[in-house]
Structure 1
């Protein structure tokens, strides 16, 4: 067993565990996983303690329960309360958890903690993220950046670091796309159910209303996009996926049906 002797679970450690749960695939909650070992050591915990906490959190995940996966059944009242609070207060607690995780590894605000390769924790240059919008965000740039980092890594990870339409698996070509526009719906900016993992091409098409998803999560092309046919390269990137369901998240939750209905009605060009 690696790491230091087990210590009491504080609120801060619970937030870090929730952050980690959102970013690691279900099968990676193992005490021998390099990411789990590294994070646990920096928390002053055993890797077994952190792995068990992640498995306890899995027992609270509605997607895992729907799949018949129960995780460990040792979730405490604190775990349940933190799970509910975290998902109810994502706008506040997701950036807080990201900052706590960041500070375990570095104090350099130009770096971000990256789990996307999954084999170890990496410190990467901070990505160019959406500029803060509004008076509150203009005075909280770091908090906004942390929230965006959490959203991107969470979305890419729950979709298996794979475009949910095309299957592309190149992290630098993937975007954590918002279903309801980022600028117009600040309360849902960090909600995983408001996200899709898309290639940069499919993200641009979705964001501009050239494609959407129907009630069964199947790809629909707009008349406007079809008006550019025939173009072999364009058709190759869209036509094979028409009527095909997207790859759904491995955990947490499916895309919100009401958010997708908004996209079809208010963003999609028909």
Structure 2
């Protein structure tokens, strides 16, 4: 992955208005960090604050300002700080317009700053030296690295939003969790990394959702397909049947988009031949 262009000192002012570079890195961090960890004592916030030239308290405050723009938070009666600026809103809208581009840009910039501060590369940068990529050409290698950065951003954002738990079973072992796309990756490039296009599911629930064996209503309740309900498998009966009509556990932010859910339902009923 080529290094980003050198950034001018003005990109990271220590006081006054936040620069776009600072705001982008702060929002990328907001997306990937559990809501309960958006405080100045979090070591990750301390580190990022150092990288961007702000204090941990100032960064934590900015993160909570972003929360005040999040409908998933304000819609439940929770509120962030009321000091969100027009620039904060611009960054919010910029990410929603280009999740992929800004996720990659922020990761590259963050790694550049880590290098400048003498910090070790994180896993997403270290993947460039993965022996498994040794046989790939520079262009193919670059494509694979970028793909992993995007996938890592989406997984972190979705798992953080759902508190690291499957929204149906409550399973919390990260090894068994999948950041599942509501509208498949291949079908909607613009929303591949949009956390509102994701559900945190156990591996078995992810597979069933991907195969359209169940879907969700606009009220976020589970709708089993006729095919799944007709199964004679005892395990299917035990795991899935009791979930019919039950609500999923909603995320702390980036609630599933009604538009994405409607598209999944339409595909599910079409696949099963339903007329609902």
| Fold shared per TM-score above 0.5 | yes
1:100 to 2:102 alignment: no
Number of corresponding residues: 247
Distance in 1 between the 2:23 and 2:178 partners?
28
For residues 262 and 184 of structure 2, the distance between their equivalents in structure 1, rounded to whole angstroms, comes to 13
Query: By how many angstroms is 1:139 displaced?
Result: 6.3
CA distance in 2, matches of 1:70, 1:137: 44
Asked if structure 1 preserves the Cα contact closer than 8 Å seen for 2:178 and 2:206, the reply is yes
How much is the aligned-residue C-alpha RMSD, in angstroms? Answer: 2.9
Contact 1:6 1:49 in 2 (8 A): no
Report 1:112-131 matches (<5 A). Answer: 112=124
2:252 to 236, 250, 253: 250
Q: CA deviation at 1:229?
A: 2.1
Per the alignment, residue 32 of structure 2 pairs with 23
Q: Distance in 2 between matches of 1:102 and 1:203?
A: 31
2:67 is matched with which residue? 58
Whether the 8 Å contact between 1:57 and 1:79 is mirrored in structure 2 is yes
TM superposition score normalised by structure 2: 0.79
Q: Going by fraction, where is helix more abundant, 1 or 2? A: 2
Q: Which string of whole-angstrom CA distances, capped at 9 and with x for unpartnered residues, describes residues 177-236 of structure 1?
A: 1111111221221111211111110000000111111232111222222333241x3322
Pick from 206, 211, 233: which aligns with 1:208?
A: 211
Instruction: Give how far 1:58 is off.
Output: 1.4
Contact 2:214/2:268 (<8 A) preserved: no
Residue 150 (structure 1) aligns with: 153
| Corresponding position of 2:243 | 241
Aligned match of 1:14? 23
Judge conservation of contact 1:161–1:197 (CA < 8 Å) in 2: yes
Instruction: Provide closer, same or farther for how the CA distance between residues 56 and 236 of structure 1 changes in structure 2, counting only shifts above 3 A.
Output: same
Distance 2:195 2:175 in 1: 20
Distance 1:109 1:186, change over 3 A: farther
Whole-Å separation in 2 of the counterparts to 1:30 and 1:108: 23
* 1:265 aligned partner: 266
Larger Rg: 2
* C-alpha displacement of 1:246: 0.6
1:22-48 CA-to-partner distances (Å, cap 9, x unmatched) read 122223221112221122223332111
1:111 and 2:114 equivalent? no
Q: Are residues 1:195 and 2:202 paired?
A: no
Any stretches of 5+ residues in structure 2 without a counterpart?
1-12, 131-138
Q: Distance in 1 between matches of 2:163 and 2:180?
A: 15
> What is the SS of the residue equivalent to 2:185?
coil
* TM-score normalised to structure 1 length: 0.81
How far the C-alpha of 1:110 sits from its partner, in A, is: 8.3
Q: CA deviation at 1:109?
A: 7.9
Structure-1 residue corresponding to 2:55: 46
Deviates further, 95-104 or 160-169:
95-104
**Contact map agreement 1:110 1:125 (CA 8 A) in 2:** no
Task: State the secondary structure of the residue aligned to 1:112.
Answer: helix
